[in-house]
Structure formats: C-alpha cells, structure tokens
Amino acid sequence: MNSVFFDLDGTLFNTIGDIRAAINYALKAYDGTEADEEEVRSYVGRGLRRALAKAVAQHCPPIPDEGEFELMVKLMMSYYRNHPCVHTVPYPGIPELLECLREKGNAIGIVSNKTDDLVRAVLEKYGYSFDFVSGQRPDYPLKPDPALLLHGISSVGSDKHHTVYVGDSEVDSETAKKAGIPAIIVSYGFRSEEALKAAGIAETAENASQVASLLCAYFSNT
C-alpha cells in the first residue's frame, strides 16, 4: 500500500498562534517579555520543551535552576492543553488533499514532535481521520530519529519503498533521510523558503496543490 505521512505543525495546520500563546503565558509568569510570531516559528520543530528553553534564553531573566524551568514547562503545557485550538486552522487545500489521498486508496498518517494528546485534540476539533496518529511518546525518541515514523509505516501495512513524508522543516527532511524515504518539504509552514535553502533543502512545495503533484509524480514511478 502507498502511504503518506505528515508532520502536523506547519504542514497540515497553522498552530503557531496557540503555541505562541502558551509560551508567552509561561514567560509572563516569570517576568519575561513576549516572543513574537517569527521568533516562535524559529523555536519550534524539536518539541515544545526545547522551544520554551529557546524563548527563555531570549526573553526571560535567568532561571535559578532546572526545577524552576520544569515548573515553566508545566505552566506552558497546562495553558496549551486548555487552549489547544483557539487560533489553529488547517492550511488552504489541506482538507481537499487528504480527501483525495483517501479516495485513491492511500494510507495516511501523522508523526509529530507535539505531545500526543495535543495532536489528537487538534484532529478531534476538525474531525480528521488518519490510519496512524502519534505525537511525542515516552517509548520513542523525538524526530529526527526515524523510529516512530518507521513504526507508523509498518503499522499501516506499507514500507519505505511506498511511502513519502511531508513536513515543513529541516527536522522533517532529516527524519525522512534517516528513515530512507523521500520527503516533500513545504515552504508555507514555519520555515521560510530562504531558511530551508540555507539548510540544504533545494526543492520545496509552495502549497497543498504542489504537494499533491509531487506525490502523484512519486507514486507513478513506484
């Protein structure tokens, strides 16, 4: 079976507004200044904890110890879990792309570095159904380690020779490379086209329609 796996944030959904709100909630509690949207875009990709650490380094007075930082993480996550979809919306063309993939008999999945409960909260709001869904899990390392992606591919009855991974960052590109599968990297998400090129990603998709065209070209050759 052909399968298409997606990153969530910056690929299927524009979640940056809710991520920024959660990070700034934690910063404010510790007398920090607000991070703007472009800054938050640069922080994300390797998990929310790491994103907060970057925000603290730029926007907060020194945190006295690791225990205090863990309290900030809990504040951020508590806020986000209570406000997961205030600003979050699917990118244009994504609902149609997913429907088209389904109609053609492809398996579709999600592998994200967002915590698993938040991934499912977003999907529940919009009623999207996938064959495999996983966010951050304690039994698997975060991307760019490919273990969870490979597990997902196996779970839907596919293999690396019939799978494409779609993401929006250098982390997603590296994940696919380590998994031994092709990647489609979009430039409409959390990384600009310039940033992606600087990371060595020469070809990008500007919209969901281009993603569909690239997928068709790949699967017609497999």
- Candidates 84, 78, 43, 81; CA nearest to 60 is 43
Q: Which residues are catalytic?
A: 7
| Other CB atoms within 10 A of residue 137 CB | 12
Angle 201-214-88 from CA coordinates, rounded to 5°: 75
152's enclosing H/E stretch is helix 147-155
Provide the total of helices (H) and of strands (E) in the chain, helices listed first.
Answer: 10, 7
Rg (CA), the chain: 17
| Other CB atoms within 10 A of residue 103 CB | 8
